[in-house]
């Protein structure tokens, strides 16, 4: 039950009534009319911007239009007050029965409360896509958690989602990986090796070398590099992807598709990059030409030459882009376009790429490419995840011995656990730098959001256990509360605040999914858990407000129903974030 959607429909009906009466002209654009929570909860339960956004088009004073609309809304028995504030906002106060219906809906629908049926085609979310040249670091973890939570969020909103990982297994970096693994292979056979500059020095390749030695003995030592390199490359990539999958599983992340970059130029589908160029040529989007030199200092590899170019500026990019290098090989951009075209050909009309902050210059060109190859049928949203600064009690954490270069994600998982990582990675917007303090995320205090929210959910079960002990004859199951609770007993401001927050959950889910912003769920959960903790604490000082009061069973049943509904919302939101909802805190 989404009261915001319900009363947005009511506002539109009221506007149509004003049109029929001649108060408003016909044909007004109602697409910008919204119903939202008021900025100050003391002003009411809902607020609409209708008078503000329609006044200019209707050629009316926004306050006068607001008064006319408020008068029309007051005829609805579900609205007990409609008042115009400021330049034309209309604040609405609802009859208590509306919130009682919300609580009953939350109890009866359980985990499905708030879940939507958002329209739209298939969504493909590509996230993590770390190079298979080493273990994942904490920065990879942020993109992984964000992408996974966004996928969960879109599924909760009713979308059909594919989770995808792009394996970068076709570039020069995987040859470096193979040569590094080969040195560890020789080391496993008893040689003393020195890792030269330019190869990967981390200890994580020692097990790969040992497995190579087990599988091939000394046979690879007698082969020239041209023979052992492809074999070791494939072996090392597979070994590193196994490690990456294990690390992802440890943080609760799975993918539906692992797409190999190497298959773009071979495999079952043939050469997909060549097919892309042919498709672009047929549309007249490829030409031979010269590009102006880039502004500022010229890159060392810049060449003033005639090139095969894609008309990306025709679709909003700053300049046209090369598709072939001087040696005739495809550019990375050509391969990226072919990959995104493949996603679209597999049926996805909405593509989402979750990338590191250093990919900012990539966004416009890829959005132009997706528009071009799909004929405007698909759209691309690129979500950039900023850096993670890893701290311990405020001090920077040194690099990991295992990686030789950085702190691995697995090190952090082993130290603080999956829940702390996932929640705190989402408790800040993805495009803001994140300070992740290993000491603070395990504190048991209000200042640790993941603890505070999980504690709120555990309090749900603590209250029910307390009720069963104090009133063993009372049915405090969800069905029992649904049947037996008289919600008119909920009149304290703290109880009303909790009902309002529960009523906001469907809207929060929908708006977070539309904006591709899972951090909104984390913020909402903290606010909602805080409302429960605050009411609980009031009951310590005011016995009449205690949730379980055997001498006042009417209030007790109503408050238990409220806590059960709120706990269900906490569980649902935590599931979207991929964080556990414990029955008790240990």
- CATH 3.30.1360.70 domain range(s) in the chain: 3-94
From first to last of the 586 residues of the chain, give the pLDDT tens digit: 899 999 999 999 999 999 999 999 999 999 999 999 998 888 999 999 999 999 999 999 999 999 999 999 999 999 999 999 988 899 999 999 999 999 999 999 988 999 988 888 899 999 998 889 988 888 899 999 999 999 999 999 999 999 999 999 988 899 999 999 999 999 999 999 999 999 998 889 999 999 999 999 999 998 999 999 999 999 999 999 999 999 999 999 999 999 999 999 887 778 999 999 999 999 999 999 988 887 777 767 677 888 899 999 999 998 999 999 888 889 999 999 999 999 999 999 999 999 998 888 889 999 999 999 999 999 999 999 999 998 888 888 876 555 566 788 998 999 999 999 999 999 999 999 999 999 999 988 888 999 999 999 999 999 999 999 999 999 999 999 999 899 999 999 999 999 999 999 999 999 999 999 999 999 999 999 999 999 999 998 899 999 999 999 999 999 999 999 999 999 999 999 999 999 988 7
- Cα 507 versus chain centre, distance: 16
What is the spatial distance between Cα 226 and Cα 220, in angstroms, rounded to a whole number? Answer: 11
CATH number of 449-577: 1.10.730.10
Alpha-carbon distances, residue 404 vs 134, 173, 339, 408 (angstroms):
10, 17, 32, 10
The structure tokens 């070791």 sit at 232
Strands 321-322, 46-48: parallel, antiparallel or unpaired by DSSP?
Answer: unpaired
Strand 257-260 relative to strand 161-167, pairing? parallel
Backbone phi and psi for residue 122, each to the nearest 5 degrees, phi listed first: -70, 145
Which residue ranges does the chain devote to CATH 1.10.730.10? 449-577
CA 1 to chain centre: 23
By the 8 A CB rule, do 143 and 128 touch? Answer: yes
Which residue bears the tokens 């200042």?
447
Residue among 132, 130, 139, 135 at smallest CA distance from 421: 139
Nearest to 545 by CA among 491, 484, 473, 466: 491
Which token pair is 324? 């072939």
Q: What is the CATH number of domain 3-94?
A: 3.30.1360.70
Q: Which segments of 179-263 are extended strands (E)?
A: 257-260
pTM for the full model? 0.92
- Residue 214: Cβ within 10 Å count: 9
Integer Cα distance of 527 and 179 in angstroms: 52
111-122 in b/e form (b: 16+ CB < 10 A) is eebbbbeeeeeb
């Amino acid at each position: 039950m989404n009261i915001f959607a319900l009363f947005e429909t009511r506002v539109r009906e009221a506007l149509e009534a004003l049109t029929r009466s001649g108060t408003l002209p016909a044909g007004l654009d109602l697409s910008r009319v919204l119903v939202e929570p008021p900025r100050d909860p003391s002003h009411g339960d809902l607020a609409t911007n209708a008078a503000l956004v329609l006044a200019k088009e209707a050629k009316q004073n926004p306050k006068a239009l607001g008064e006319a609309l408020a008068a029309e809304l007051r005829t609805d028995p579900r609205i007990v007050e409609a008042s115009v504030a400021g330049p034309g906002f209309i604040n609405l106060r609802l009859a208590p029965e509306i919130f009682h219906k919300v609580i009953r809906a939350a109890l009866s629908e359980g985990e499905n409360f708030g879940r939507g049926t958002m329209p739209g085609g298939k969504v493909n979310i590509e996230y993590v896509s770390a190079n298979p040249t080493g273990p994942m670091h904490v920065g990879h973890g942020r993109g992984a958690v964000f992408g996974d939570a966004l996928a969960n969020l879109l599924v909760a909103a009713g979308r059909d989602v594919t989770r995808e990982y792009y394996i970068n297994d076709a570039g020069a970096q995987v040859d470096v990986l193979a040569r590094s693994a080969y040195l560890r292979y020789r080391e496993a056979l008893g040689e003393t090796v020195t890792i030269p500059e330019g190869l990967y020095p981390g200890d994580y390749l020692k097990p790969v070398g040992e497995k190579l030695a087990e599988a091939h003995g000394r046979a690879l030592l007698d082969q020239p590099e041209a023979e052992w390199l492809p074999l070791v490359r494939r072996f090392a990539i597979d070994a590193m992807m196994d490690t990456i999958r294990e690390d992802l599983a440890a943080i609760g992340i799975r993918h539906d598709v692992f797409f190999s970059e190497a298959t773009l130029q071979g495999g079952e589908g043939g050469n997909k990059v060549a097919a892309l160029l042919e498709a672009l040529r047929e549309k007249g989007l490829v030409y031979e030409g010269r590009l102006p030199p880039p502004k500022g200092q010229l890159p060392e590899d810049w060449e003033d030459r005639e090139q095969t170019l894609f008309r990306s500026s025709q679709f909003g990019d700053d300049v046209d882009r090369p598709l072939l290098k001087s040696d005739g090989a495809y550019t990375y951009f050509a391969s990226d376009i072919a990959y995104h075209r493949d996603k679209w050909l597999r049926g996805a009309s909405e593509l989402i790429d979750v990338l590191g902050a250093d990919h900012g210059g990539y966004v416009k060109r890829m959005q132009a490419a997706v528009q071009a190859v799909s004929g405007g049928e698909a759209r691309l949203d690129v979500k950039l995840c900023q850096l993670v600064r890893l701290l311990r009690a405020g001090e920077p954490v040194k690099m990991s011995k295992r990686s030789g270069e950085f702190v691995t994600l697995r090190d952090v998982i082993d130290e603080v656990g999956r829940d702390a990582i996932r929640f705190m990675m989402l408790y800040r917007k993805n495009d803001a730098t994140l300070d992740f303090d290993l000491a603070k995320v395990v504190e048991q205090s209000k200042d640790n959001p993941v603890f505070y929210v999980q504690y709120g959910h555990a309090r749900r079960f603590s209250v029910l256990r307390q009720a069963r002990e104090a009133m063993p004859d009372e049915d405090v199951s969800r069905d029992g509360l649904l049947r037996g609770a008289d919600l008119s007993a909920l009149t304290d401001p703290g109880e009303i605040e909790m009902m309002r927050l529960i009523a906001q959950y469907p809207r929060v889910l929908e708006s977070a999914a539309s904006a591709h912003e899972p951090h909104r769920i984390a913020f909402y959960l903290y606010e909602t858990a805080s409302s429960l903790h605050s009411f609980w604490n009031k009951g310590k000082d005011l016995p009449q407000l205690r949730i379980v009061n055997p001498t006042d069973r009417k209030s007790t049943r109503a408050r238990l129903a409220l806590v059960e509904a709120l706990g269900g919302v906490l569980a649902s939101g935590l599931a979207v974030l991929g964080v556990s909802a414990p029955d008790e805190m240990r």
